[in-house]
Structure formats: C-alpha cells, structure tokens
Structure 1
Amino acid sequence: MNVPVELLAFAGVMALGQFSPGPDMLLLTRTALKEGAKTGVIMSWGIATGLAFHAALAIAGMSVVFERVDWLRDAMRWLAAGYLIWLAYQMIMEWFVHVYSGAVFEEPQATTAKSAYVQGLMCNLLNPKVMVFLAAVTAPFLAGARPDWWPWALWAVVVFEGLTLWALWALVLQVKPVREIYRRAGPWINLVFGITMVCLAIFLVAG
C-alpha cells in the first residue's frame, strides 16, 4: 500500500464530492455573500462537524444499517426536506419584502456565531445522502489488508478538507466584484437560492 498516493487519491475524490452542488454549498454561498467572511467561516465549521459525524458512521459501517432501516432513512429525508424548506422560506420572504415594499436592499447584520454554526451543522447532519456518499467513496479505500489507523486517516482527510475547503470558499466569495454583484442583485439571488432549496428538498424526498 502506497500511503501518500492513496491518501492523495482519496483527498481528490472527496474534494470533488464536497464541491458538487448541494444544500451545504448553496447555504454557505448565500450566507457568505450576505453576511460576510466571518459568518461564512463559522458556518463552515458547522458543516465540517456534520461531516465528522457522517464520516465516522460511514467508516464504522453504520451506513449499511441506515440504508436497510427504511423508516429511519425516510424520517431523516423528511426532516432534511423540512429544514431546507424553512431555509428557502426565509430567502424567498426577503425577496418578497423587497419587491412588494419597495424597500432598498441592505445587507443585515450578521447572525450570531452560534446560529451560523448550528445552521451549517443541521444542514449537513440532516442530509442522509452525505453518509451514503461517504460510505461509497471510502469503501474502495478500506478494502484489503490495512493498518488499524488507516480508517481514521481517511476520517481525518474528510474532516480537514471539509473545514479548510468550505472556509476558503467563504473567503473567496468576499472578492469585491462578487460582493458588488450581490449588493446590486441580492434579493433576486436570494429568490434563486430559495427556489433551488425547494427543488433540493423535493429531490431529497423523492430520491
């Protein structure tokens, strides 16, 4: 086993998976644009905490049980869909108030650190597809004879990448031209994000 090569391969697959479109990316993108780098980075910590939990269960083999217990899987899907709908409602209402009140769009003060962390955590934690994805990705890298520490090396890669890449994404979104676009079209961007959240919720329940 070539440890550096396998870890790099695993890290590459995980990076692609984490940056695929989904609830985590959508929520973090909108939050970092709306409320700034600090709130976005704190939210990324919440997302990484959720990933740490999912990765531990996937590596421990609990994803098999999760997939076979239909009521548990379905309950998690409905909880996740409900949470996404609630987030979408908040985004769409911001657009509605702006358009129908004629108010000037202004970026509100950032939410508390605790609130941003909890939103990121819950968005990731309630999504059952995260554990299924992690189980599918880690399975080939767990096959065969491995040292005892190997599964937890994979877990560390998942958590470290989740924390650093999401935090970097929140910082990248602070580039002045990007911020200016959001300042000008914020309500409409919120509307698009809100509708996309609804679509993700429907896809999650139907999947």
Structure 2
Amino acid sequence: MTDLLPLFGFVFFGLFSPGPNVILLTASGARFGFRRTVPHILGVALGVGITAGVTGFGIGALLKAHPTLEIVLKIAASGWILWMALNLWRADPAKNQGGDRPFTFLEAVLFQWVNPKVWAVALSATAYVAGASPTDQAVTLGLTFSGLNLGVCLFWATAGSLLAYLLTNQAAWRIFMRIMAVALVGFSVLVFL
C-alpha cells in the first residue's frame, strides 16, 4: 500500500486542480443543486476510472504512434469544451429553459473520453505503475482514479451548491457563469499545447 502513496498523491492533485470537470461540477452544483448533480458526479468518477484504466493497456502508446488519432481527439475535445462554454455563457438561472439541465450520468462518462486533462493525468500516472502487467496497471489506475475522483467530485459539487447561497442576484449569477465559461474556453485552447 505504501508504494501506491505517490500514485495517490499525484492522481489526487492532478484531478483536484481546476479543469473541465471541476468547472462543470462547480457550475452544476451552483446552478442545479447538489442532488440534481449526483448523476454527473457518478458519471465523472466512473468515466475517469475507465479512461485511466485503458491507459494501462497501452492506449497512450497508440495515440503517440498515430498522431492523426491524437489530433482528432484534440479537435473533438476542444469542440465539446467550447460547446459547454457557450452553454454556460448563455445560462440564465432566472429562466429555466426546457433543455437546461445538468449532465446525465452517460454524458459525464462519455465526456471523459475527450477530456484532455484526464488523459494527461492518466498518461502521466502510468509511470507510477510501469513495472506491473497491463492488467494490473489498468485495474490499479482505474480504481485509483475512480475512487479518488469521487471524493474530488463530491467536494466541487458541494462547493458549487454552497456558492449558490452567495449568488443572490441576477448580476452575480451571470458573472459566475461567464467566469466558468471563460475558464472552459481557456482549457479548449490548452488542448493543443
């Protein structure tokens, strides 16, 4: 267990620091409340674990061997993040439009496949399990990422739901949502760096 402590620390800080999931969960907690954000939380935790697990089977090497595949993944990631940023920018908490809702469980799982931060942390984390078999790497990374990220997701969604108490007027909500949108736009650019 003690040989896994460096992996746990790396994964925790890699996932806890701001990124698309942190921004979206905080915004969802603030906008829709904690309870309605739970499927999003669970989807992120599972999706991150799946993404990390497949890196243990060598998908990182596949991406490096096929630069076109890596470019397609980056374009898809950037496009999806920009679309989410646009939705946050347009969000109006006073008007609950018909299609306005938190991520579903499946949407949150699928988003991890194009989340550049998750891929970067997962690919880097493979160094901590390099001596193990591919199956052991996949299981260790998958369980570590899912387990730790569940706590991270719970924290940020709770923080967002508590933040809602401070956002007492329309102007404060609009500023908050636009800051979250601009942060997502920044991540869409970082995909290509």
So what's the TM-score if we normalise by structure 2?
A: 0.84
Give the 3 Å change call, closer, same or farther, for CA 164–129 of structure 1 in structure 2: closer
2:147 equivalent to 1:160: yes
2:13 equivalent to 1:16: yes
Amino acid across the alignment from 2:167: Y
2:101 equivalent to 1:111: yes
Compute the displacement of 1:150 (Å): 4.3
- Contact in 1 for aligned 2:85/2:184 (Cα 8 Å): yes
Q: 1:62 aligns with which of 59, 64, 80?
A: 59
Mind listing any 5+ residue stretches in structure 2 that lack a counterpart?
none
So what's the TM-score if we normalise by structure 1?
A: 0.79
- 1:121 corresponds in structure 2 to 109
Alpha-carbon RMSD across the aligned residues, in angstroms, is: 2.4
Alpha-carbon distance in 1 for matches of 2:65, 2:120: 12
Alpha-carbon distance in 2 for matches of 1:132, 1:12: 15
2:193 equivalent to 1:203: no
Please say which structure displays the higher CA radius of gyration: 1
2:123 equivalent to 1:138: no
Amino acid across the alignment from 2:145: V
Alpha-carbon distance in 2 for matches of 1:66, 1:36: 37
Partner of 1:86, secondary structure, is: helix
Give the 3 Å change call, closer, same or farther, for CA 92–172 of structure 1 in structure 2: closer
Mind listing any 5+ residue stretches in structure 1 that lack a counterpart?
96-104
Give the 3 Å change call, closer, same or farther, for CA 192–172 of structure 1 in structure 2: closer
- Contact in 2 for aligned 1:85/1:201 (Cα 8 Å): yes
What is the aligned-residue identity percentage? 20
User: Which one is further off, 132-141 or 11-20?
Assistant: 132-141
- 2:177 corresponds in structure 1 to 190
2:92 equivalent to 1:89: no
Alpha-carbon distance in 2 for matches of 1:125, 1:68: 18
Amino acid across the alignment from 1:186: W
- Contact in 2 for aligned 1:42/1:116 (Cα 8 Å): yes
